[in-house]
Structure 1
């Protein structure tokens, strides 16, 4: 069987299959296997939970654990996306069977989920995301789908945003309970939204209870989920019997997403609502005592005297779900046949059993009849992405789920749903710019490395009058990394691990973690770990973390002598960690400069970034020219990430440099680069005479800065200017690429540079992990980035 045209997941699937068969030969069953896999991908509702978990395990790496309900202390939950889809489809099918159409509870849940996705997107991009206010915004859009003109929905925007409100299947004027509509209409008219502390009304009806299931996505903490579930329902239902059942449901679904039994999950949910334990515990006991194969009928359920309150509806759902745990169709039919709020009972029953078994428990003919199955699959996949380990950070995502649409703030809650957000908010654009800075460095060094030891005349004779303008095809891939990029990656990993430590133990300075990372890099240069580790051997008997396991990094790419000498001396215990005050060398070499780029993430204060950048370089390079140049580059990247123009960032950098002893050499190279750029392009020989060859950190900074300025941020034009001269073309290209990448972002780097870049996937993953770690809701990394 030809493996061409397969994606990574399909190749991994076939590799796993062939391993079990102990053969690499073509197998006639493989095409059937692929066809089934693709069918599951096209129609997720047909995919069993074990296949969802298999898809998770087929990843080339273990993803981090998100700080949401889709993970536990062991990491991301492989089956959770399937259980989430089962919960949403199960609830939708339950109400559909009960009322014969897509009902108001289902559509309200979908719009509330869209609001939570927007809240989490905002939390990632701006450091603040209010799930209550964003859910209220989603319910405003739901109100509009009930036939209310948008101008009357209590919003100041011209039209509703996002994709969901444009789905015709969600628009209907049918309603069997007006409580939610009436409450939202009051909010639209200027009345404060409801909360558990400040009720909007005295309603105890059940229509808002299904919203509580969504709270399980926001957090892995049962207490937070319990509070959020109740707060979501209390937006429109003021009586405890109308909103507290949503709290119980949220916690039960949280435990079901973790693969727990229905009885255990319901028991955890019930434990939080003491005043209603008697009727709910009785319902659970009646369900468990039902004879096998006998589902509760109307007479059994009516004997419970069910009404239309949320407590009544949940009690019926608990009894039926536990009695018919393995019979989804029987449970829904039973929950739909009693004298109370059958629509809500059936929906709650479907949510519980769908989360327990996944979507394959739902009869296929019911899913075929449900008009919104594909829509729910799409929204569930988006929710799993947003609350999973690798949320989508593209502009297209924020167009689908705009995080900025205004909404009337709800009444205050006693729970801070931003718990766990860091104090370092980042704009979404800055994340792309940081990735651009890292990729730009790698591309620039890869372009310049083959000519780093050549003079301009030699470069021109080999590569033409314009010099080198593309990678030299000396292997695959042709854009090979150099030691500067290797060290940049380990610096970045050390910075991530330092921030993990800062979150847990209060670490204030990342330099020790970065020193540890450099000893791991030294290990990749063909030194055993006991010889490379130095004092870190006591705490880490083997090199830990994810990056050092990337075997392609175990390549010697002509590292600088100062780097090797100082790191080996540290490993032998011959010298301590270097600092600007206590230098371990007198080197001003350019290999110090690129390692400071990760410092741009450490703080929102560029002055602190400058300080961290200087300390990073001083670990090995003790001359002020080296560590001040490195601090300046980190400072520039930090300002560029926040959208400041390069020229203005340079002016601010000169002001930052001025108070430091020994800044004159660095400041002179920078001012020369600015002056030359203002006069236009100059020949490489003149560039060398004016700024230097790039041998020192200040010269490399000056040449890279000149190329970025004179080409006005044009990546394709600037890189050849940065590398075509006599001298250290690798580092000057890296500086230029990092500055332009930070200014314009990774998306603006032409694909021809990244498609042939060695270890592109590793670079992208590490940079992506870094912006997640320094974002508002960092994941739980477990062994990927230990805080050692």
Structure 2
């Protein structure tokens, strides 16, 4: 169980770092620039305008924000909004995040409000991006044996910055998928179904906006995979991207990541590169898929050099974090 918790955290960081060079590339541009990404590579500086200054294996804001969530859970025993907001504000100021191009529009509004002393929840309901879903995995690790508490904490963690129905649904779906993986004993189909139920739960909480439903798109991703299993992973990826999309919108990113997880039967070694090679928001899609696959298959099945590289470059110890989260 600890290995699966570790897998969820380190898998997310691996997906983040592996997808970073291809962020916001189309599938065709990614193929022309890198071929098929199946390891850490340095971003092509001329083509990668968002992360061109990073080195191979370096994490982005996806992992940084999940680390903040982990620290709040560890230090306070559960998710607490005020310490989370304070930690995010401190991170934004110290890392000068508002001067970068890597954060999404919803996170930018949220951090701006915090720094200016305004209540970020006044505008968080207008969000439609994947910022709260990409940081939700530690909640799944913390609440691995309390699914109701997991959904509640995931929803609470989304509201300050991503308070719409799709965003809350996406955070709940990811957290529950991770919790189910850490708990163990479920099939990948059961994990998908649990994520659907969690998304439905989240869609009853957030602000209603004009956007597709994450829950229904999770079912669409499942159906696409079921109908095309005999045609190979590349065909499935084309279908998932073609029908669902791979952008930063949460109603694309989360169903896509879950679809890839389902297509590779939860194998993190296969799932992380597959999600990354969908292109577009490649680092976040890789992170979310890495979280879910890592929780399901465990860290033992993830290549040792991947785990070592991402933790060395980022000065992180995800085994220690996993152990503390599970106390």
Coarse TM-score class (shorter-chain normalised): 0.7 to 0.9
C-alpha offsets along residues 461-503 of structure 1, whole Å, 9 cap, x if unaligned?
1223xx222221359961110111111111111111111xxxx
1:584 aligns to what?
124
Query: Residue 172 of structure 2: which of 631, 648, 656 is its match?
Result: 631
Query: 1:664: how far off?
Result: 6.5
Q: Is the 8 A contact 2:59 2:314 kept in 1?
A: no
User: What pairs with 1:117-516 in structure 2 (closer than 5 Å)?
Assistant: 429=1, 431-464=2-35, 467-473=36-42, 478-499=56-77, 509-516=79-86
Q: Is the 8 A contact 1:438 1:763 kept in 2?
A: no
Against the structure 1 CA distance between its residues 687 and 769, is the aligned structure 2 distance closer, same or farther, given a 3 Å change threshold? closer
1:331 aligns to what?
none
2:324 aligns to what?
772
Query: 1:737: how far off?
Result: 0.8
Match of 2:245, SS state, is coil
Against the structure 1 CA distance between its residues 657 and 703, is the aligned structure 2 distance closer, same or farther, given a 3 Å change threshold? closer
1:559 aligns to what?
103
Higher helix share: 2
| Structure 2 residue runs without a partner (length 5+) | 44-52
1:614 aligns to what?
155
Query: 1:750: how far off?
Result: 0.6
2: CA distance, partners of 1:769 / 1:716: 21
Q: Is the 8 A contact 2:224 2:239 kept in 1?
A: no
Query: Residue 671 of structure 1: which of 212, 219, 225 is its match?
Result: 219
Q: Is the 8 A contact 2:246 2:253 kept in 1?
A: yes
1:605 aligns to what?
146
Q: Is the 8 A contact 2:70 2:321 kept in 1?
A: no
Matched, 1:658 2:200: yes
Query: Residue 190 of structure 2: which of 636, 648, 658 is its match?
Result: 648
Match of 2:117, SS state, is coil
| Structure 1 residue runs without a partner (length 5+) | 1-428, 500-507, 533-554, 776-788
Against the structure 1 CA distance between its residues 583 and 649, is the aligned structure 2 distance closer, same or farther, given a 3 Å change threshold? farther
Query: 1:584: how far off?
Result: 2.8
2: CA distance, partners of 1:462 / 1:497: 43
What's the RMSD between the two structures over aligned residues?
2.6
Match of 1:592, SS state, is coil
Against the structure 1 CA distance between its residues 569 and 708, is the aligned structure 2 distance closer, same or farther, given a 3 Å change threshold? same
Match of 2:241, SS state, is helix
Against the structure 1 CA distance between its residues 516 and 436, is the aligned structure 2 distance closer, same or farther, given a 3 Å change threshold? same
1: CA distance, partners of 2:40 / 2:95: 25
1:694 aligns to what?
247
Against the structure 1 CA distance between its residues 564 and 649, is the aligned structure 2 distance closer, same or farther, given a 3 Å change threshold? same
2: CA distance, partners of 1:727 / 1:637: 23
2: CA distance, partners of 1:572 / 1:488: 23
2: CA distance, partners of 1:759 / 1:494: 23
2: CA distance, partners of 1:447 / 1:557: 18
Query: 1:447: how far off?
Result: 1.1
Q: Is the 8 A contact 1:693 1:728 kept in 2?
A: yes
Q: Is the 8 A contact 1:487 1:595 kept in 2?
A: yes
How many residue pairs get matched? 305
Query: Residue 743 of structure 1: which of 280, 296, 319 is its match?
Result: 296
Matched, 1:569 2:113: yes
Query: 1:598: how far off?
Result: 1.6
Moved more, 471-480 or 584-593: 471-480
2:47 aligns to what?
none
Q: Is the 8 A contact 1:715 1:740 kept in 2?
A: yes
Matched, 1:596 2:170: no
C-alpha offsets along residues 20-57 of structure 1, whole Å, 9 cap, x if unaligned?
xxxxxxxxxxxxxxxxxxxxxxxxxxxxxxxxxxxxxx
Against the structure 1 CA distance between its residues 436 and 612, is the aligned structure 2 distance closer, same or farther, given a 3 Å change threshold? same
Q: Is the 8 A contact 2:254 2:288 kept in 1?
A: yes
C-alpha offsets along residues 330-387 of structure 1, whole Å, 9 cap, x if unaligned?
xxxxxxxxxxxxxxxxxxxxxxxxxxxxxxxxxxxxxxxxxxxxxxxxxxxxxxxxxx
Q: Is the 8 A contact 1:645 1:743 kept in 2?
A: no
Query: 1:636: how far off?
Result: 1.1
Q: Is the 8 A contact 1:480 1:757 kept in 2?
A: yes
Q: Is the 8 A contact 1:595 1:616 kept in 2?
A: no
Against the structure 1 CA distance between its residues 706 and 601, is the aligned structure 2 distance closer, same or farther, given a 3 Å change threshold? closer
Larger relative contact order (C-alpha < 8 A, sep ≥ 6)?
Answer: 2
